[in-house]
A and B are shown apart, each in its own frame.
Chain A
Protein backbone atom coordinates (compact mmCIF):
# COMPACT_ATOMS: atom_id res chain seq x y z
CA UNK A 1 0.00 0.00 0.00
CA UNK A 2 1.70 3.17 -1.15
CA UNK A 3 1.82 6.12 1.19
CA UNK A 4 2.54 9.63 -0.01
CA UNK A 5 5.34 11.15 1.98
CA UNK A 6 4.85 14.74 2.89
CA UNK A 7 5.68 17.05 5.71
CA UNK A 8 2.13 18.23 6.35
CA UNK A 9 -0.65 15.68 6.33
CA UNK A 10 -3.64 17.33 7.94
CA UNK A 11 -5.62 15.52 10.57
CA UNK A 12 -9.31 15.47 9.77
CA UNK A 13 -12.46 14.12 11.39
CA UNK A 14 -14.78 11.78 9.52
CA UNK A 15 -17.33 14.27 8.20
CA UNK A 16 -14.87 16.97 7.30
CA UNK A 17 -12.89 14.38 5.40
CA UNK A 18 -15.67 13.62 2.99
CA UNK A 19 -16.41 17.31 2.37
CA UNK A 20 -12.81 18.04 1.72
CA UNK A 21 -12.57 15.05 -0.53
CA UNK A 22 -15.46 16.31 -2.58
CA UNK A 23 -13.80 19.66 -3.22
CA UNK A 24 -10.52 18.00 -3.91
CA UNK A 25 -12.01 15.42 -6.21
CA UNK A 26 -13.39 18.20 -8.31
CA UNK A 27 -10.06 19.91 -8.62
CA UNK A 28 -7.54 17.15 -8.74
CA UNK A 29 -7.08 13.84 -10.45
CA UNK A 30 -4.59 11.96 -8.33
CA UNK A 31 -6.14 11.75 -4.91
CA UNK A 32 -7.01 8.08 -4.88
CA UNK A 33 -4.65 7.59 -1.98
CA UNK A 34 -6.04 10.22 0.38
CA UNK A 35 -8.78 7.97 1.72
CA UNK A 36 -6.50 4.97 2.30
CA UNK A 37 -3.97 7.27 3.98
CA UNK A 38 -6.56 8.68 6.31
CA UNK A 39 -7.81 5.19 7.11
CA UNK A 40 -4.28 4.06 7.96
CA UNK A 41 -3.79 7.03 10.19
CA UNK A 42 -6.98 6.41 12.05
CA UNK A 43 -5.84 2.86 12.72
CA UNK A 44 -2.69 4.15 14.34
CA UNK A 45 -0.21 4.08 11.47
CA UNK A 46 0.99 7.65 11.13
CA UNK A 47 2.60 8.91 7.98
CA UNK A 48 6.31 8.02 8.10
CA UNK A 49 8.53 10.99 8.72
CA UNK A 50 10.21 12.15 5.55
CA UNK A 51 13.65 13.72 5.40
CA UNK A 52 13.16 17.38 4.79
CA UNK A 53 16.10 19.26 3.46
CA UNK A 54 15.44 22.49 5.40
CA UNK A 55 17.53 24.32 2.90
CA UNK A 56 18.85 27.47 1.44
CA UNK A 57 18.73 27.67 -2.33
CA UNK A 58 18.91 30.66 -4.61
CA UNK A 59 19.15 31.56 -8.24
CA UNK A 60 20.11 34.70 -10.10
CA UNK A 61 20.29 35.87 -13.68
CA UNK A 62 23.51 37.55 -14.75
CA UNK A 63 24.87 38.89 -18.00
CA UNK A 64 25.59 35.61 -19.75
CA UNK A 65 23.18 33.22 -18.10
CA UNK A 66 21.93 31.88 -14.80
CA UNK A 67 23.66 30.87 -11.57
CA UNK A 68 22.01 28.52 -9.09
CA UNK A 69 23.37 27.99 -5.58
CA UNK A 70 22.48 25.63 -2.76
CA UNK A 71 23.73 24.46 0.62
CA UNK A 72 24.33 20.77 1.34
CA UNK A 73 22.63 19.77 4.59
CA UNK A 74 19.69 17.34 4.86
CA UNK A 75 17.96 17.21 8.23
CA UNK A 76 15.50 14.83 9.83
CA UNK A 77 13.86 16.83 12.61
CA UNK A 78 16.88 18.09 14.53
CA UNK A 79 19.45 15.55 13.37
CA UNK A 80 21.65 16.10 10.35
CA UNK A 81 20.90 13.16 8.08
CA UNK A 82 23.40 14.06 5.40
CA UNK A 83 26.16 16.64 5.46
CA UNK A 84 27.00 16.63 1.75
CA UNK A 85 23.75 16.03 0.01
CA UNK A 86 23.24 17.19 -3.54
CA UNK A 87 20.39 19.60 -4.04
CA UNK A 88 21.04 20.79 -7.57
CA UNK A 89 19.50 18.36 -10.03
CA UNK A 90 20.13 18.12 -13.72
CA UNK A 91 17.13 18.26 -16.04
CA UNK A 92 18.24 18.95 -19.61
CA UNK A 93 20.47 21.95 -20.25
CA UNK A 94 18.17 23.47 -17.59
CA UNK A 95 18.98 22.64 -14.01
CA UNK A 96 16.80 22.76 -10.92
CA UNK A 97 17.62 23.42 -7.33
CA UNK A 98 15.38 21.77 -4.82
CA UNK A 99 14.22 22.56 -1.34
CA UNK A 100 11.65 20.67 0.71
CA UNK A 101 11.28 16.92 1.13
CA UNK A 102 14.32 15.15 -0.28
CA UNK A 103 12.55 12.15 -1.80
CA UNK A 104 9.93 14.34 -3.47
CA UNK A 105 12.62 16.50 -4.99
CA UNK A 106 14.56 13.59 -6.43
CA UNK A 107 11.54 11.94 -7.96
CA UNK A 108 10.17 15.12 -9.46
CA UNK A 109 13.54 15.89 -11.00
CA UNK A 110 13.92 12.40 -12.49
CA UNK A 111 10.42 12.34 -13.92
CA UNK A 112 10.54 15.79 -15.44
CA UNK A 113 14.00 15.13 -16.84
CA UNK A 114 12.76 12.13 -18.79
CA UNK A 115 9.63 13.99 -19.94
CA UNK A 116 11.78 16.86 -21.16
CA UNK A 117 14.01 14.49 -23.08
CA UNK A 118 10.93 13.06 -24.79
CA UNK A 119 9.81 16.60 -25.54
CA UNK A 120 13.14 17.36 -27.11
CA UNK A 121 12.94 14.28 -29.30
CA UNK A 122 9.35 14.97 -30.23
CA UNK A 123 9.88 18.59 -31.19
CA UNK A 124 13.38 18.23 -32.55
CA UNK A 125 14.60 21.36 -30.84
CA UNK A 126 16.19 22.28 -27.53
CA UNK A 127 13.73 22.51 -24.68
CA UNK A 128 12.68 25.95 -23.44
CA UNK A 129 12.88 26.56 -19.70
CA UNK A 130 9.16 27.42 -19.56
CA UNK A 131 8.38 23.87 -20.65
CA UNK A 132 10.15 22.48 -17.61
CA UNK A 133 8.41 25.01 -15.38
CA UNK A 134 5.01 24.16 -16.76
CA UNK A 135 5.48 20.41 -16.49
CA UNK A 136 6.62 20.65 -12.91
CA UNK A 137 3.90 22.98 -11.73
CA UNK A 138 1.17 20.95 -13.43
CA UNK A 139 2.38 17.83 -11.70
CA UNK A 140 2.63 19.55 -8.32
CA UNK A 141 -0.83 21.07 -8.66
CA UNK A 142 -2.27 17.65 -9.42
CA UNK A 143 -1.07 16.51 -6.02
CA UNK A 144 -2.46 19.59 -4.27
CA UNK A 145 0.69 20.28 -2.29
CA UNK A 146 1.21 16.75 -0.99
CA UNK A 147 4.44 16.53 -2.96
CA UNK A 148 6.57 18.76 -0.73
CA UNK A 149 8.91 20.01 -3.41
CA UNK A 150 9.71 23.69 -3.68
CA UNK A 151 12.08 24.39 -6.52
CA UNK A 152 13.95 26.92 -8.51
CA UNK A 153 14.23 26.09 -12.21
CA UNK A 154 16.91 27.92 -14.09
CA UNK A 155 18.40 27.63 -17.55
CA UNK A 156 19.35 29.23 -20.82
CA UNK A 157 17.43 28.53 -23.99
CA UNK A 158 17.04 30.12 -27.40
CA UNK A 159 15.12 33.05 -25.90
CA UNK A 160 17.72 33.83 -23.26
CA UNK A 161 18.27 33.05 -19.59
CA UNK A 162 15.21 32.24 -17.44
CA UNK A 163 14.60 31.67 -13.77
CA UNK A 164 11.40 30.35 -12.16
CA UNK A 165 10.50 29.50 -8.60
CA UNK A 166 7.80 26.89 -8.05
CA UNK A 167 5.99 26.26 -4.77
CA UNK A 168 4.66 22.89 -3.57
CA UNK A 169 1.06 23.73 -4.41
CA UNK A 170 1.88 24.47 -8.01
CA UNK A 171 2.26 28.24 -8.25
CA UNK A 172 5.22 29.69 -10.05
CA UNK A 173 6.89 33.05 -10.36
CA UNK A 174 9.55 34.37 -12.61
CA UNK A 175 12.16 36.96 -11.78
CA UNK A 176 15.76 38.03 -11.91
CA UNK A 177 16.67 36.44 -8.58
CA UNK A 178 14.87 34.20 -6.11
CA UNK A 179 15.45 32.16 -2.98
CA UNK A 180 13.67 29.22 -1.35
CA UNK A 181 13.91 27.04 1.71
CA UNK A 182 14.12 27.64 5.43
CA UNK A 183 17.14 29.89 4.93
CA UNK A 184 15.49 31.90 2.18
CA UNK A 185 15.10 35.00 4.33
CA UNK A 186 18.77 35.20 5.17
CA UNK A 187 19.62 34.54 1.53
CA UNK A 188 17.15 37.07 0.18
CA UNK A 189 18.54 39.81 2.39
CA UNK A 190 21.90 39.47 0.65
CA UNK A 191 20.41 39.27 -2.83
CA UNK A 192 18.10 42.26 -2.31
CA UNK A 193 20.93 44.47 -1.16
CA UNK A 194 23.52 43.45 -3.74
CA UNK A 195 21.74 42.47 -6.93
CA UNK A 196 22.11 44.63 -9.99
CA UNK A 197 21.46 44.13 -13.68
CA UNK A 198 24.06 42.65 -16.03
CA UNK A 199 26.55 41.48 -13.41
CA UNK A 200 29.59 39.69 -14.73
CA UNK A 201 30.38 36.12 -13.79
CA UNK A 202 32.70 36.74 -10.86
CA UNK A 203 30.48 39.31 -9.21
CA UNK A 204 27.46 37.07 -9.56
CA UNK A 205 29.29 34.02 -8.19
CA UNK A 206 30.52 35.99 -5.20
CA UNK A 207 27.03 37.29 -4.51
CA UNK A 208 25.45 33.83 -4.69
CA UNK A 209 28.18 32.45 -2.48
CA UNK A 210 27.59 35.16 0.11
CA UNK A 211 23.85 34.63 -0.05
CA UNK A 212 24.07 30.89 0.54
CA UNK A 213 26.68 31.44 3.24
CA UNK A 214 24.24 33.76 5.03
CA UNK A 215 21.70 30.95 4.95
CA UNK A 216 24.24 28.39 6.15
CA UNK A 217 25.43 30.39 9.13
CA UNK A 218 22.13 31.88 10.22
CA UNK A 219 19.71 29.07 9.51
CA UNK A 220 19.91 25.84 11.46
CA UNK A 221 18.32 23.84 8.67
CA UNK A 222 21.16 24.66 6.27
CA UNK A 223 24.83 23.95 6.57
CA UNK A 224 28.15 22.55 5.38
CA UNK A 225 29.05 23.57 1.82
CA UNK A 226 28.00 25.93 -0.96
CA UNK A 227 27.27 24.14 -4.24
CA UNK A 228 26.96 26.18 -7.35
CA UNK A 229 25.88 25.70 -10.94
CA UNK A 230 26.64 28.22 -13.67
CA UNK A 231 24.56 27.84 -16.83
CA UNK A 232 25.44 29.80 -19.94
CA UNK A 233 24.43 29.40 -23.57
CA UNK A 234 27.38 27.17 -24.35
CA UNK A 235 28.06 25.17 -21.24
CA UNK A 236 27.00 24.11 -17.80
CA UNK A 237 29.51 24.37 -14.97
CA UNK A 238 28.62 22.28 -11.96
CA UNK A 239 30.88 23.30 -9.08
CA UNK A 240 30.45 20.98 -6.17
CA UNK A 241 31.52 22.15 -3.64
CA UNK A 242 32.14 25.74 -4.53
CA UNK A 243 33.22 26.45 -0.99
CA UNK A 244 33.34 24.58 2.28
CA UNK A 245 31.85 27.10 4.68
CA UNK A 246 31.95 24.92 7.77
CA UNK A 247 34.47 22.11 7.80
CA UNK A 248 34.23 19.08 10.06
CA UNK A 249 35.55 19.76 13.56
CA UNK A 250 39.03 18.52 14.33
CA UNK A 251 39.48 15.92 17.05
CA UNK A 252 41.42 17.04 20.10
CA UNK A 253 42.90 13.65 20.80
CA UNK A 254 46.33 13.17 19.23
CA UNK A 255 45.65 9.63 18.15
CA UNK A 256 42.22 8.78 16.87
CA UNK A 257 41.60 6.74 19.95
CA UNK A 258 37.86 7.25 19.82
CA UNK A 259 37.72 4.37 17.37
CA UNK A 260 40.43 2.26 18.99
CA UNK A 261 40.33 0.36 22.28
CA UNK A 262 42.02 2.50 24.94
CA UNK A 263 45.48 1.34 26.05
CA UNK A 264 45.51 -1.30 28.74
CA UNK A 265 48.25 -2.84 30.89
CA UNK A 266 49.14 -6.34 29.55
CA UNK A 267 50.56 -9.02 31.89
CA UNK A 268 53.51 -10.05 29.67
CA UNK A 269 54.67 -7.97 26.80
CA UNK A 270 56.09 -9.78 23.75
CA UNK A 271 56.75 -7.60 20.72
CA UNK A 272 54.48 -8.64 17.90
CA UNK A 273 57.27 -9.60 15.45
CA UNK A 274 58.82 -12.01 17.92
CA UNK A 275 55.40 -13.31 18.77
CA UNK A 276 54.83 -14.08 15.12
CA UNK A 277 58.18 -15.90 14.84
CA UNK A 278 57.39 -17.87 17.94
CA UNK A 279 54.03 -18.86 16.54
CA UNK A 280 55.62 -19.94 13.27
CA UNK A 281 58.20 -22.08 15.08
CA UNK A 282 55.57 -23.67 17.28
CA UNK A 283 53.43 -24.61 14.31
CA UNK A 284 56.49 -26.01 12.50
CA UNK A 285 57.37 -28.17 15.50
CA UNK A 286 53.85 -29.43 15.66
CA UNK A 287 53.89 -30.36 12.00
CA UNK A 288 57.21 -32.17 12.43
CA UNK A 289 55.90 -34.11 15.37
CA UNK A 290 52.85 -35.18 13.43
CA UNK A 291 54.97 -36.29 10.51
CA UNK A 292 57.38 -38.30 12.64
CA UNK A 293 54.54 -40.04 14.44
CA UNK A 294 53.02 -41.02 11.13
CA UNK A 295 56.38 -42.21 9.92
CA UNK A 296 56.78 -44.47 12.96
CA UNK A 297 53.38 -46.00 12.43
CA UNK A 298 54.13 -46.69 8.78
CA UNK A 299 57.51 -48.13 9.64
CA UNK A 300 55.94 -50.45 12.14
CA UNK A 301 53.44 -51.59 9.60
CA UNK A 302 56.24 -52.20 7.15
CA UNK A 303 58.17 -54.28 9.64
CA UNK A 304 55.12 -56.34 10.45
CA UNK A 305 54.39 -57.00 6.82
CA UNK A 306 58.03 -57.89 6.18
CA UNK A 307 58.09 -60.37 9.02
CA UNK A 308 54.84 -61.93 7.95
CA UNK A 309 56.27 -62.14 4.41
CA UNK A 310 59.32 -63.94 5.78
CA UNK A 311 57.13 -66.35 7.70
CA UNK A 312 55.05 -66.96 4.63
CA UNK A 313 58.22 -67.67 2.61
CA UNK A 314 59.39 -70.16 5.21
CA UNK A 315 56.05 -71.87 5.28
CA UNK A 316 55.84 -71.93 1.51
CA UNK A 317 59.32 -73.37 1.00
CA UNK A 318 58.70 -75.91 3.75
CA UNK A 319 55.55 -77.05 2.06
CA UNK A 320 57.25 -77.09 -1.28
CA UNK A 321 60.22 -79.14 -0.06
CA UNK A 322 57.92 -81.72 1.53
CA UNK A 323 55.76 -81.87 -1.58
CA UNK A 324 55.84 -84.74 -4.10
CA UNK A 325 57.18 -82.51 -6.93
CA UNK A 326 60.29 -81.79 -4.91
CA UNK A 327 60.81 -85.47 -3.91
CA UNK A 328 60.88 -86.53 -7.51
CA UNK A 329 63.32 -83.87 -8.66
CA UNK A 330 66.49 -83.76 -6.51
CA UNK A 331 67.75 -80.54 -8.14
CA UNK A 332 64.50 -78.69 -7.41
CA UNK A 333 64.51 -80.18 -3.96
CA UNK A 334 67.98 -78.89 -3.34
CA UNK A 335 67.00 -75.43 -4.61
CA UNK A 336 63.87 -75.26 -2.47
CA UNK A 337 65.66 -76.48 0.64
CA UNK A 338 68.34 -73.82 0.12
CA UNK A 339 65.71 -71.18 -0.26
CA UNK A 340 63.89 -72.47 2.83
CA UNK A 341 67.05 -72.29 4.95
CA UNK A 342 67.79 -68.79 3.69
CA UNK A 343 64.27 -67.65 4.43
CA UNK A 344 64.48 -69.02 7.93
CA UNK A 345 67.77 -67.31 8.45
CA UNK A 346 66.52 -63.96 7.20
CA UNK A 347 63.25 -64.21 9.06
CA UNK A 348 64.77 -64.73 12.52
CA UNK A 349 66.86 -61.86 13.75
CA UNK A 350 64.65 -59.19 12.35
CA UNK A 351 63.02 -57.10 14.96
CA UNK A 352 61.68 -53.72 14.36
CA UNK A 353 62.64 -51.27 16.98
CA UNK A 354 60.21 -48.70 15.91
CA UNK A 355 59.50 -46.55 18.88
CA UNK A 356 58.16 -43.13 18.57
Chain B
Protein backbone atom coordinates (compact mmCIF):
# COMPACT_ATOMS: atom_id res chain seq x y z
CA UNK B 1 0.00 0.00 0.00
CA UNK B 2 1.33 3.47 -0.70
CA UNK B 3 0.09 6.89 0.26
CA UNK B 4 0.04 9.60 -2.37
CA UNK B 5 1.78 12.80 -1.44
CA UNK B 6 0.33 16.07 -2.73
CA UNK B 7 2.31 19.23 -2.69
CA UNK B 8 1.04 21.37 0.14
CA UNK B 9 0.29 24.42 -1.99
CA UNK B 10 -1.09 24.47 -5.54
CA UNK B 11 1.16 25.54 -8.37
CA UNK B 12 0.56 29.26 -8.66
CA UNK B 13 2.89 29.93 -11.58
CA UNK B 14 0.83 27.93 -14.05
CA UNK B 15 -1.86 30.56 -13.84
CA UNK B 16 -4.82 28.27 -13.21
CA UNK B 17 -7.00 28.97 -10.22
CA UNK B 18 -6.24 26.00 -7.96
CA UNK B 19 -7.93 26.04 -4.62
CA UNK B 20 -5.72 26.22 -1.55
CA UNK B 21 -4.86 22.70 -0.44
CA UNK B 22 -3.21 21.56 2.75
CA UNK B 23 -1.65 18.13 3.11
CA UNK B 24 -0.62 16.93 6.58
CA UNK B 25 2.03 14.64 5.10
CA UNK B 26 5.45 15.43 3.76
CA UNK B 27 7.87 12.97 2.25
CA UNK B 28 11.29 13.47 3.83
CA UNK B 29 12.90 10.67 1.86
CA UNK B 30 15.29 8.01 3.09
CA UNK B 31 15.95 4.37 2.33
CA UNK B 32 16.57 1.32 4.49
CA UNK B 33 18.29 -1.97 3.67
CA UNK B 34 18.49 -4.96 6.03
CA UNK B 35 20.05 -8.41 5.68
CA UNK B 36 19.70 -11.14 8.31
CA UNK B 37 22.06 -14.09 8.69
CA UNK B 38 22.48 -17.08 10.94
CA UNK B 39 23.81 -15.18 13.91
CA UNK B 40 23.86 -11.55 12.82
CA UNK B 41 21.64 -8.88 11.36
CA UNK B 42 22.80 -5.83 9.46
CA UNK B 43 20.57 -2.82 8.92
CA UNK B 44 21.53 0.43 7.24
CA UNK B 45 19.82 3.69 6.34
CA UNK B 46 21.02 6.72 4.45
CA UNK B 47 21.49 9.95 6.42
CA UNK B 48 19.86 12.48 4.13
CA UNK B 49 16.70 14.29 5.17
CA UNK B 50 15.05 16.20 2.35
CA UNK B 51 11.95 18.26 1.62
CA UNK B 52 11.01 18.56 -2.05
CA UNK B 53 14.19 19.52 -3.83
CA UNK B 54 15.88 20.88 -0.71
CA UNK B 55 18.15 19.13 1.75
CA UNK B 56 17.22 19.59 5.40
CA UNK B 57 20.08 17.58 6.86
CA UNK B 58 22.99 15.50 5.57
CA UNK B 59 23.62 13.74 8.89
CA UNK B 60 20.26 12.54 10.13
CA UNK B 61 20.40 8.82 10.82
CA UNK B 62 17.13 6.95 10.70
CA UNK B 63 17.97 3.98 12.89
CA UNK B 64 16.45 3.65 16.35
CA UNK B 65 17.73 1.15 18.90
CA UNK B 66 14.74 -0.25 20.70
CA UNK B 67 16.48 -2.90 22.78
CA UNK B 68 19.97 -4.38 22.95
CA UNK B 69 19.24 -6.62 20.01
CA UNK B 70 16.40 -4.93 18.13
CA UNK B 71 16.75 -1.97 15.80
CA UNK B 72 14.07 -0.11 13.86
CA UNK B 73 14.83 1.67 10.60
CA UNK B 74 12.26 4.18 9.36
CA UNK B 75 11.75 6.30 6.26
CA UNK B 76 9.00 8.60 5.14
CA UNK B 77 7.48 11.52 6.99
CA UNK B 78 9.95 12.65 9.64
CA UNK B 79 7.39 14.01 12.07
CA UNK B 80 5.49 10.71 12.02
CA UNK B 81 8.77 8.83 12.47
CA UNK B 82 9.64 10.84 15.58
CA UNK B 83 6.25 10.31 17.17
CA UNK B 84 6.06 6.64 16.30
CA UNK B 85 9.50 5.87 17.71
CA UNK B 86 8.80 7.82 20.90
CA UNK B 87 5.56 5.93 21.43
CA UNK B 88 7.13 2.58 20.75
CA UNK B 89 10.02 3.25 23.10
CA UNK B 90 7.52 4.18 25.82
CA UNK B 91 5.50 1.03 25.25
CA UNK B 92 8.65 -1.10 25.43
CA UNK B 93 9.60 0.50 28.75
CA UNK B 94 6.11 -0.24 30.07
CA UNK B 95 6.41 -3.85 28.99
CA UNK B 96 9.79 -4.13 30.72
CA UNK B 97 8.35 -2.85 33.96
CA UNK B 98 5.23 -5.03 33.80
CA UNK B 99 6.83 -8.29 32.78
CA UNK B 100 10.29 -7.78 34.26
CA UNK B 101 12.02 -8.95 31.11
CA UNK B 102 13.23 -7.63 27.81
CA UNK B 103 10.72 -7.48 25.00
CA UNK B 104 11.61 -9.97 22.29
CA UNK B 105 11.83 -8.98 18.64
CA UNK B 106 8.72 -10.93 17.75
CA UNK B 107 6.74 -9.19 20.47
CA UNK B 108 7.94 -5.77 19.29
CA UNK B 109 6.96 -6.70 15.75
CA UNK B 110 3.45 -7.51 16.88
CA UNK B 111 3.30 -4.32 18.93
CA UNK B 112 4.30 -2.23 15.92
CA UNK B 113 1.65 -3.83 13.75
CA UNK B 114 -1.01 -3.05 16.33
CA UNK B 115 0.16 0.53 16.81
CA UNK B 116 0.20 1.21 13.09
CA UNK B 117 -3.23 -0.29 12.50
CA UNK B 118 -4.73 1.73 15.32
CA UNK B 119 -4.13 4.70 13.05
CA UNK B 120 -5.71 3.02 10.08
CA UNK B 121 -7.75 6.06 9.00
CA UNK B 122 -5.05 8.68 9.45
CA UNK B 123 -1.91 6.63 9.07
CA UNK B 124 1.67 7.23 10.02
CA UNK B 125 3.40 7.88 6.70
CA UNK B 126 6.35 5.69 7.61
CA UNK B 127 7.95 2.64 6.01
CA UNK B 128 9.42 0.56 8.82
CA UNK B 129 11.99 -2.19 8.88
CA UNK B 130 12.45 -3.97 12.20
CA UNK B 131 15.41 -6.31 12.70
CA UNK B 132 16.43 -8.56 15.53
CA UNK B 133 16.72 -12.20 16.52
CA UNK B 134 13.98 -14.78 16.77
CA UNK B 135 13.50 -17.38 19.53
CA UNK B 136 16.15 -19.67 18.07
CA UNK B 137 18.67 -16.87 17.85
CA UNK B 138 18.65 -16.54 14.06
CA UNK B 139 18.52 -13.12 12.45
CA UNK B 140 15.12 -11.95 11.29
CA UNK B 141 13.78 -8.96 9.35
CA UNK B 142 10.26 -7.56 9.45
CA UNK B 143 9.14 -5.01 6.89
CA UNK B 144 5.97 -2.94 7.26
CA UNK B 145 3.70 -0.88 5.12
CA UNK B 146 2.23 2.38 6.50
CA UNK B 147 -0.86 0.73 8.03
CA UNK B 148 0.81 -2.20 9.73
CA UNK B 149 1.00 -5.10 7.32
CA UNK B 150 4.08 -7.02 8.33
CA UNK B 151 6.11 -9.47 6.32
CA UNK B 152 8.90 -11.59 7.75
CA UNK B 153 11.99 -12.23 5.62
CA UNK B 154 15.75 -12.41 5.65
CA UNK B 155 16.49 -9.40 3.48
CA UNK B 156 14.53 -6.32 2.59
CA UNK B 157 14.97 -2.89 0.99
CA UNK B 158 12.46 -0.16 1.71
CA UNK B 159 12.01 3.58 1.40
CA UNK B 160 12.33 5.95 -1.55
CA UNK B 161 14.83 3.76 -3.41
CA UNK B 162 13.38 0.46 -2.21
CA UNK B 163 12.14 -0.41 -5.67
CA UNK B 164 15.66 0.06 -7.04
CA UNK B 165 17.36 -1.98 -4.33
CA UNK B 166 15.03 -4.92 -3.74
CA UNK B 167 15.74 -6.59 -7.14
CA UNK B 168 19.46 -6.34 -6.43
CA UNK B 169 19.03 -8.06 -3.07
CA UNK B 170 16.77 -10.70 -4.60
CA UNK B 171 19.53 -11.54 -7.03
CA UNK B 172 22.54 -11.43 -4.72
CA UNK B 173 21.14 -12.65 -1.40
CA UNK B 174 18.10 -14.63 -2.51
CA UNK B 175 20.06 -16.00 -5.50
CA UNK B 176 17.08 -15.56 -7.79
CA UNK B 177 17.52 -15.77 -11.57
CA UNK B 178 21.00 -17.23 -11.32
CA UNK B 179 22.03 -20.50 -12.95
CA UNK B 180 23.89 -23.30 -11.28
CA UNK B 181 24.40 -21.81 -7.82
CA UNK B 182 24.53 -23.60 -4.51
CA UNK B 183 22.53 -21.89 -1.77
CA UNK B 184 25.44 -20.76 0.37
CA UNK B 185 24.44 -18.69 3.40
CA UNK B 186 25.61 -15.09 3.16
CA UNK B 187 28.51 -14.27 5.46
CA UNK B 188 28.58 -11.15 7.59
CA UNK B 189 31.38 -9.54 5.58
CA UNK B 190 29.69 -10.24 2.26
CA UNK B 191 26.39 -8.87 3.59
CA UNK B 192 28.11 -5.69 4.74
CA UNK B 193 29.85 -5.15 1.41
CA UNK B 194 26.61 -5.83 -0.40
CA UNK B 195 24.69 -3.30 1.66
CA UNK B 196 27.31 -0.63 1.04
CA UNK B 197 27.28 -1.31 -2.68
CA UNK B 198 23.51 -1.23 -2.90
CA UNK B 199 23.49 2.19 -1.31
CA UNK B 200 26.23 3.42 -3.62
CA UNK B 201 24.06 2.34 -6.56
CA UNK B 202 20.92 3.89 -5.07
CA UNK B 203 22.70 7.22 -4.60
CA UNK B 204 23.52 7.26 -8.31
CA UNK B 205 19.93 7.08 -9.44
CA UNK B 206 17.67 8.27 -6.63
CA UNK B 207 17.85 11.94 -5.76
CA UNK B 208 16.55 11.39 -2.22
CA UNK B 209 19.34 8.95 -1.29
CA UNK B 210 22.84 10.21 -0.64
CA UNK B 211 25.21 12.05 1.72
CA UNK B 212 26.05 9.00 3.85
CA UNK B 213 24.96 5.69 5.35
CA UNK B 214 24.73 4.57 8.93
CA UNK B 215 25.13 0.81 9.37
CA UNK B 216 24.23 -1.14 12.50
CA UNK B 217 25.69 -4.65 12.75
CA UNK B 218 23.83 -6.57 15.45
CA UNK B 219 25.08 -9.81 16.92
CA UNK B 220 25.09 -11.58 20.26
CA UNK B 221 27.90 -9.31 21.44
CA UNK B 222 26.00 -6.13 20.79
CA UNK B 223 25.63 -3.47 18.13
CA UNK B 224 28.52 -2.09 16.09
CA UNK B 225 28.06 1.12 14.12
CA UNK B 226 29.71 2.24 10.90
CA UNK B 227 29.27 5.32 8.77
CA UNK B 228 30.17 5.49 5.10
CA UNK B 229 30.05 8.64 2.95
CA UNK B 230 27.99 8.83 -0.26
CA UNK B 231 27.52 11.31 -3.08
CA UNK B 232 26.60 14.82 -1.97
CA UNK B 233 24.72 15.95 -5.04
Contacts and interface: CB of A to CB of B under 8 A. Distances in A.
B16 A10 contact: yes
Nearest to A169: B15
B53 interface: yes
B14 A252 contact: no
A245 B233 contact: yes
A113 interface: no
Nearest to A186: B54
Contact of A218 (B55, B181, B203): B55
Interface stretch (A77-85, A133-141, A339-347): A77-85
B83 to A, nearest CB: 25
Contacts, number: 89
A305 to B, nearest CB: 55
B233 A222 contact: yes
B207 interface: yes
B179 A261 contact: yes
A248 interface: yes
A253 B193 contact: yes
A332 B208 CA distance: 113
A209 interface: no
A249 B204 contact: yes
B207 A261 contact: no
Interface in B46-77: 50, 52-55
B197 A251 contact: yes
A258 B232 CA distance: 24
Interface string B141-181: 00000000000000000001000100010001001001111
Interface string B196-233: 11001101111110000000000000000000001111
B11 interface: yes
Given A78-B206, A182-B53, A261 B180 contact: yes
Contacts of B231: 223, 246, 249
A183 B53 CA distance: 9
Contact of A73 (B14, B168, B180, B233): B233
Interface residues of B, number: 38
Contact of A220 (B14, B53, B196, B200): B53
Given A73-B233, A249-B230, A78 B208 contact: yes
A75 interface: yes
Contacts of A11: 16
Nearest to A254: B193
Residue in B13, B164, B197 with the greatest tally of chain A CB atoms within 10 Å: B197
Contacts of B201: 249
A216 B55 CA distance: 11
A115 interface: no
A12 B18 CA distance: 10
Interface string A56-97: 000000000000000001010011100100000000000000
Contacts of A182: 53
Nearest to B11: A8
Contact of B53 (A54, A83, A250, A251): A54
A195 to B, nearest CB: 24
A249 B203 contact: yes
Given A10-B16, A78-B208, A249-B231, A220 B180 contact: no
Interface string A255-279: 0001001101100000000000000
Given A8-B11, A10-B16, A79 B233 contact: no
Nearest to A257: B172
Contacts of A223: 207, 231, 233
A8 B11 CA distance: 8
B178 A249 contact: no
Contacts of B11: 8
A253 B178 CA distance: 19
A97 to B, nearest CB: 18
Contacts of B203: 249
Contacts of B55: 218, 220
A165 interface: no
A223 B18 CA distance: 32
Contacts of A222: 233
Interface in A163-182: 169, 182
Given A79-B207, A220-B207, A252-B193, 18 more contacts: A8-B13, A10-B16, A78-B207, A79-B205, A79-B206, A83-B204, A217-B232, A223-B233, A246-B231, A248-B204, A252-B197, A258-B168, A258-B197, A261-B178, A261-B179, A262-B184, A264-B180, A264-B182
Interface of B: 11, 13-16, 18, 50, 52-55, 160, 164, 168, 172, 175, 178-182, 184, 193-194, 196-197, 200-201, 203-208, 230-233
5 contacts: A75-B207, A252-B196, A253-B194, A262-B181, A264-B182
- Please provide the 4 A-B residue pairs with the shortest distance between their CB atoms, ordered closest to farther: A249-B200, A223-B233, A10-B16, A246-B233
Interface of A: 8, 10-12, 54, 73, 75, 78-80, 83, 145, 169, 182-183, 216-224, 245-246, 248-253, 258, 261-262, 264-265
